[in-house]
Amino acid sequence: MPTLAAIDVGSNSCRLKIAKVVSHQLKTLAEDREVTRLGASVFDAGLISPEAMAATLRALKRFQRAVQSHGVDQIRVVATSAMRDARNADAFRAWVKAETGWSLEVISGLEEGRLIHLGVTGSEPGTLGVAGGRVLLLDLGGGSCELTLSEHRRIKETVSLPLGAVRLTEQFLPIDPAPADGLARMRQLIARELRRAHRRIQPGRIPLVIATSGTAAALSDAYAAAKNGKAGLKLGGKPASARASIRDGVVPTQAVCKLARKLAKLPLPARESIPGIGPRRAEIIVAGAEVYAQLLESFSLPGFRYSPLGLRDGILAQMLAEQDARANVHREFEHERWESVLATARRYGVDPRQAEPVRAHALQLFRELKSLHQMPVEYESWLAAAAMLRDTGKFINHQGHHRHTQYIVSSSEIYGYTQLQRTIVSAIARYLGKSRPQPGDRAMRNIPAEEHEAVRRSVVLLRLAEALNQDRASDVLRVAVRVYPKRVYLELRQGRTGAELELWSLRKEAPYFREVFGRELFVTLA
């Protein structure tokens, strides 16, 4: 069974999780975390400091030793807000690549929210059984805050706000204790960003709010300590019998607001002494607590329940879904990813019903020519996405629309596809006109050389699928495929409107087919 690893390079800390696939499920083998403050200078100066780079790289090298000792088969390393904002992010990515051999993938705020949702709803108890299946996920990191509204484990809306605890601390609270003017300006910014969130997310009555990441854990622990009389903070309520009983329950909004106000008045040593907060979290807890207090009040939420799950769990769940069709998460992941493709098509004026025959023929050719093209299995879904999105460029201009398609697909937020995967899909959709893939092309230069041949072969299949659908309104052709050692036959079974145009279009593709696959292509009518 394969062993997988996920690394989350956050603005405040780096996290590692290693899991083994056992009976189509993930079994955790190891976890690690290190506070590196990668975003500390980014949100002020726009650059990652050399010190933060070095600290993060030391953590990654330690993670690498753990990855090697567990014999990990596949690893994915992602970075979030600090790397999205830093002007020298590419330099740090190159340094990580040189020192570890890992490709550091920078994901968007929306993709971050989607992966957190995947990780939490797949494993957190109670997310499916709540009334109406409605859950609001809150993830407050060092650089950003992701809010995700979920119904029956499906994302309804996601928004990413620049309200990370490190970001706000650097911008508004540079001295300790927190200055009154800084607190006032920070609260104004939080309120403004939350008003923007209200335009996107209108949760109504939410029976379950789940919060992830370090700030939520610290607030939950601080509340538990106060309930047990250990923190010197009086937040009201009956004493709890054990800290775990609080961690597993809800931290009320009223308690969060009281805690935020009290923390803002305390100097750093006093904050450090509160159980559950600790030295490093105490430096940024004032900003984090204020975001939670305003957010819970703004959305009229009763409180939150802390979950230790997060981004790295979503990364692992997606890795499992992509390679194990029998895993429970596979079907939900594929459905969510395809719905995102359809939503992108509609956004740019493509009718999925009209694109469907091309997609169906592309998949038929992929499956029936598998012995010939020998492409990895994941290219099947990438080819389907390219078929559905191939005309999105017409939204910009019909002239040269293939170039516009490449830009739109590679730049769009398509859930479930990494930047590299979107780049491959965009390249497959790009070459449906007169041009052919070349290594130095804009569409190909960011694709690893070892993938170029598979892209070329996918382009051929999509060109054939498009040739089979020459402006046909409803009379979709059926095609039979026969593969021989030196030639391939496509036998068209024409409908009531004939197939002369398709026959001519397919025969035009024969020379390129021979160039890519080394076999003759013969097209006949049944």
Q: If pLDDT is split at 50, 70 and 90, which confidence band does 415 have?
A: confident
| Beta bridge partners of residue 104, listed in sequence order | 77
What DSSP line would sit under 65-114, residue for residue?
HHHHHTT-SEEEEEE-HHHHH-TTHHHHHHHHHHHH---EEE--HHHHHH
Chain-centre distance of CA 16, in angstroms?
Answer: 17
Indicate whether 136 and 262 sit together in one domain.
yes
Q: What is the pLDDT of residues 105-140, one digit of tens each?
A: 999 998 999 999 999 987 776 665 555 578 999 999
Return d(Cα 504, Cα 214) in angstroms, integer.
62
Lowest mean pLDDT of 224-238, 414-428, 436-450, name the range.
224-238
Give the pLDDT of residue 121. 86
Domain end call among 281, 308, 335: 308
Would 389 be classed as within a structural domain? yes
The boundaries of the domain holding residue 171 are 125-308
Which two tokens mark 395? 């939204």
Would 228 be classed as within a structural domain? yes
Indicate whether 131 and 259 sit together in one domain.
yes
SS3 5: strand
Return d(Cα 81, Cα 141) in angstroms, integer.
8
Q: Return the DSSP state at 473.
A: S
Q: What is the pLDDT of residues 306-362, one digit of tens each?
A: 999 999 999 999 999 988 888 888 888 888 899 999 999 999 999 999 999 999 999
Cis-peptide into 302, omega within 30 deg: no
Give the pLDDT of residue 246. 42
Give the pLDDT of residue 237. 46
What residue has token string 């590419």?
90
Q: Is 139 within 8 Å of 310 (Cβ atoms)? A: yes
Would 393 be classed as within a structural domain? yes
Q: Positive or negative, the Cα torsion across 460, 465, 466, 470? A: positive
Return d(Cα 114, Cα 352) in angstroms, integer.
23
In the predicted model, is pLDDT for residue 499 greater than 90? no
Indicate whether 229 and 349 sit together in one domain.
no
Give the pLDDT of residue 242. 37
What residue has token string 């939420």?
301
pTM reported for the whole predicted model: 0.84
Q: What is the pLDDT of residues 53-102, one digit of tens each?
A: 999 999 999 999 999 999 999 999 999 999 999 999 999 999 999 999 99
Return d(Cα 208, Cα 271) in angstroms, integer.
29
Indicate whether 280 and 380 sit together in one domain.
no
Give the pLDDT of residue 477. 86
C-beta neighbour count of 165 within 10 angstroms: 30
Domain end call among 59, 77, 108: 108
Q: What is the largest CA-CA distance in the chain?
A: 85
Of 122, 89, 94, 121, residue with least CA distance to 106:
89
CA-based angle 126:75:9, to the nearest 5?
75
Indicate whether 251 and 333 sit together in one domain.
no
Would 523 be classed as within a structural domain? no
Indicate whether 183 and 268 sit together in one domain.
yes
Indicate whether 361 and 460 sit together in one domain.
yes
pLDDT, averaged across the chain: 91
- Residue 74, domain CATH: 3.30.420.40
Cα 3 to Cα 9, 60, 234, 312, 325: the distances in Å are 20, 18, 46, 14, 16
Indicate whether 414 and 331 sit together in one domain.
yes
- Residue 337, domain CATH: 1.10.3210.10
Would 426 be classed as within a structural domain? yes
Indicate whether 129 and 251 sit together in one domain.
yes
Q: If pLDDT is split at 50, 70 and 90, which confidence band does 231 have?
A: low
Would 510 be classed as within a structural domain? no
Of 234, 229, 232, 236, residue with least CA distance to 270:
232
In the predicted model, is pLDDT for residue 276 greater than 50? yes
Element at 29 (helix H, strand E) = strand 25-35
Q: What is the pLDDT of residues 440-495, one digit of tens each?
A: 899 999 999 999 999 999 999 999 999 999 865 556 789 999 999 999 999 998 77
Indicate whether 302 and 382 sit together in one domain.
no
Mean pLDDT of all residues in 224-252: 59
Q: What is the pLDDT of residues 142-183, one digit of tens each?
A: 999 999 999 888 888 999 999 999 999 999 999 999 999 999
What residue has token string 């040739």?
467
Domain end call among 75, 108, 141: 108
Return d(Cα 356, Cα 32) in angstroms, integer.
45
Would 213 be classed as within a structural domain? yes
SS3 495: strand
Indicate whether 135 and 278 sit together in one domain.
yes
List alpha helices for 324-369, DSSP H. Answer: 328-347, 352-368
Give the pLDDT of residue 335. 87
If one compares 342 and 239, the residue with the highest pLDDT of the two is 342
- Residue 278, domain CATH: 3.30.420.150
Domain count, the chain: 3
Q: What is the pLDDT of residues 43-56, one digit of tens each?
A: 888 999 999 999 99
| C-alpha gyration radius of the chain | 26
Indicate whether 240 and 92 sit together in one domain.
no
Q: If pLDDT is split at 50, 70 and 90, which confidence band does 232 have?
A: low
Would 492 be classed as within a structural domain? no
